[in-house]
Amino acid sequence: MCVALIGGMDRLERDYETEARRHGVELRVFTKTKTGLTTRLKTVDVMVMFTGKVSHQLKREAVSAAKSKSIPVIMVHSCGVCSLRECLQRLVASGQRGAGESGCAGSRKDAHCRRTADRAVA
């Protein structure tokens, strides 16, 4: 499974990648706006966005790319390694490419993960 991480902290990039490897997930980290973002995202299965640490421009570009490629988006407010770990565990446990109906959605009423795939493809 290939996951794109949008936002987060530059200094935690290596930790994000280490955590993804532990779960057997290929992770692509985008903490800043880069040219050709849509092209770089076209092969990912799911997108995790850390909304607390992402620029408005990067968020707009990533959501637009997700809509055009029908990529599910999981929005997480916090940007720590534990938040990524929780989402990756649920994605891997779902056993579906692109997270399907599982992922971080609906885990708890107070969960800080929110899946927006339905809005992204509508």
Per-residue model confidence (pLDDT) at position 79? 87
Distance between CA atoms of 19 and 68, rounded to whole angstroms?
28
**Is domain 2-121 in CATH 3.40.50, yes or no?**
yes
Edge-first strand order for the sheet with 2-6 is: 26-30, 2-6, 46-50, 73-76, 113-115
Distance between CA atoms of 46 and 17, rounded to whole angstroms?
15
What would the two tokens of residue 49 be?
């966005």
- Ordered by start, the domain boundaries in the chain are 2-121
pTM of full prediction above 0.75: yes
What would the two tokens of residue 89 be?
């565990």
Each of the 122 residues of the chain gets a pLDDT tens digit; together they read 899 999 999 999 999 999 999 999 999 999 998 888 888 888 899 999 999 889 999 999 999 999 999 999 999 998 899 999 999 999 998 865 544 433 343 333 333 444 444 344 43
What is the rounded (10 degree) CA torsion for 66, 57, 11, 74?
A: -30
